[in-house]
Structure 1
Amino acid sequence: MVEPVGGQGTQQTGFAGVTRKVLERLSVPGDHRELVVVEVTYPPGGCAPLHRHPVGGAIYIVEGIAESAYGSDEPRQYRAGETLQDRPDIPHTLFRNCDPERPLRFLTIYVLEPGRAYTMEP
């Protein structure tokens, strides 16, 4: 489930029904990395397979209710207006849209080397 990074348009990710749209991609001054802001939409009831992130990132829930857990942590729900942090190199054991009828929409913000995937196989 490697997630492509290139391009500014909306892309289908490595699992069914999830789309991502790169809203912003900015060079970090004095660094070879870039700041990336991505809008991600999960379909009703959509759930990510086991994955990990190479760096930490901030997630802001725009619409809906997400449930997330890392490693052996207990799952926690996040609602519109709340934030959570993607944790680097710890298996992201659960991320899902809790609503069976409406999409989940959130922003993911991270700093990463250009061309490197933010979501990777465990």
Structure 2
Amino acid sequence: MNKFAIGAALAMTLLGATSQAADPKPAVVKPLLTEPLSGVPGKEVTVLTVEYLPGGASAPHRHDADVFVYVLEGAVVMQVDGKEPVTVRKGETFRENPKDIHRQSMNASKTEPAKFVVFVVKDQGKPVTRPLDGG
């Protein structure tokens, strides 16, 4: 699956399931890279950026992958099941494990955008994100 197909699948998940705000704003997802990992058969890395407009959010979902987030601009509220929500600000990181349910992902601001880079280590050919009701 090429980086644009992966980005489109992620965007459909995030855009189709924006959430929790009274006037949800869709996420802007830009795929940057998808490449197989050397020396790790069956695994690949995907790198993308996500921008939440003011008030933007995504519905609960899962990644089935190791996910690393680095906030470039603004702040985002992140939460996985079993843990308290955390506000991740510019220059800070957030980590998800393959079994985590990403319960909350939203812009911490109603007036400023938030942008972050996502680094995903996953099984080759598998989607980056899937909605919870998808299994």
The alpha-carbon deviation at position 58 of structure 1 amounts to: 0.6
Count of aligned pairs: 119
- Percent identity of equivalent pairs: 25
Q: Where does structure 1 lack aligned partners over 5 or more consecutive residues?
A: none
User: Which one scores higher on RCO, CA 8 angstroms, separation ≥ 6?
Assistant: 1
Aligned equivalent of 1:48 = 58
The residue type equivalent to 2:44 in the other structure is E
Aligned equivalent of 1:26 = 35
Q: Where does structure 2 lack aligned partners over 5 or more consecutive residues?
A: 19-25
8 Å Cα contact 1:6-1:115 kept in structure 2: no
The alpha-carbon deviation at position 10 of structure 1 amounts to: 6.7
> As a proportion of its length, which structure holds more helix?
2
Aligned Cα root-mean-square deviation (Å): 2.2
Structure 2-normalised TM-score?
A: 0.77
CA distance in 2, matches of 1:66, 1:74: 14
Specify which of 72, 76, 92 is matched with residue 82 of structure 1.
92
CA distance in 2, matches of 1:36, 1:6: 8
The residue type equivalent to 2:105 in the other structure is F
Aligned equivalent of 1:98 = 108
Tell whether 2:129 aligns with 1:119: yes
8 Å Cα contact 2:54-2:109 kept in structure 1: yes
Structure 1-normalised TM-score?
A: 0.84
Q: Secondary structure at the match of 1:117?
A: coil
The alpha-carbon deviation at position 13 of structure 1 amounts to: 3.3
Aligned equivalent of 2:4 = 7
